[in-house]
Structure 1
C-alpha cells in the first residue's frame, strides 16, 4: 500500500530553489553583512495598497508583516529559507512596501538587557500555572 501523500501535516516543501527566487542574489550581497535574524519588519501603507500587484513570496511576506515580524519569524511562518527572506525583504523595503528596523547590536550584547530578559522569562507560568524554577 502506498503512503497517503495528503496526510503530511506540514505540507510539501517548495519546489523552487532559493537561488531562483532571489535571482542568484545573496543576503548582504557585498553591501555589508546580512540583516540580523531578529530584524523587525512591518508592512507600510504602500505595501498594503500594492498587495494585489505583488506575486508569490513577495506578496506572502507583505501579507504576514501586517503585524511586526522578525526575519526569523517570517522565514518560519512562510517556510522560506532565511536568506531568501532577507533578500526579498530588502527588495520590498527598497520598493517602499516594508519598513525594516535593524536592532541596535550594542543593546543585544548588553548584560543588563539580557538579565532582564532572563528574569522576564522566569516569571512566565509553566503549563500548570506555576512559576518557572529560578535556578
Structure 2
C-alpha cells in the first residue's frame, strides 16, 4: 500500500459536520413564534463570552440589522435552526427584533434568493 485510499472509497468530507438538532439542543420550535423571514434582528450590547460558536456568530452577523433569512444564510444553518437560535438570543437579551411594516422589493428579492440558496 502506498498510503492512497482506494478509488471507490470517498474520504469522510463531513467529519466536522454537526447535526442541526445538536446545535439547537434537540428543539425544533423557537421560543418566539413570531419570527418571520423578514424580521430584522440586531445585536444588543456586548456578546456574552459563554455563548456557543453558532450563537456568537449570529450576534456578530447582527451587528447591523439583518433579516432572519440572511442570518441563516450567513451562518450556514437551516432556517429552522436559525429561528431557534435567534429566539434563544432574543430571550437572553443578546438580540432585539423588529417587524418591518413593509419591505422594499429589493430586500424581498434578496430574501427570496437566500432562501432558495438554503
What range describes the TM-score normalised by the shorter chain of this pair? Answer: 0.5 to 0.7
Given the alignment, which residue of 20, 31, 38 partners 1:18? 20
Deviation sequence 1:69-122 (CA, Å, 0-9, x none): 111111111111111110010000001000011234xx46xxxxx7xx47xx9x
The answer for the alignment partner of 2:116 in structure 1 is none
Preserved contact between residue 30 and residue 85 of structure 2 (Cα < 8 Å): no
Q: TM-score, normalised by structure 1?
A: 0.60
Check whether the contact 2:30–2:87 (CA below 8 A) recurs between aligned residues: no
* 2:56 equivalent to 1:59: yes
Q: SS in structure 1 opposite 2:17?
A: coil
C-alpha distance 49-57 of structure 1, shift in aligned 2 (>3 A): closer
Which ranges of structure 2 fall in alignment gaps of 5 or more residues? 6-10, 110-118
1:90 aligns with 2:87: yes
Aligned Cα root-mean-square deviation (Å): 3.0
Partner of 2:43: 43
TM-score, normalization by structure 2: 0.67
Give 5+ residue unaligned stretches, structure 1.
6-11, 109-113, 122-135
Q: Name the structure where helix makes up a greater proportion of residues.
A: 1
Distance 1:13 1:26 in 2: 23
- Whether contact under 8 Å (1:42, 1:67) holds in the other structure is yes
Q: How many pairs does the alignment contain?
A: 99
Residue 87 of structure 2 aligns to a residue whose secondary structure is helix
Check conservation: 1:41, 1:71, Cα contact below 8 A. Answer: yes
Q: SS of the residue aligned with 1:53?
A: coil
List, as ranges, runs of 4+ consecutive aligned residues in structure 1 with deviation greater than 2 Å: none
**Distance 1:77-1:84 versus aligned 2 partners, 3 A rule:** same
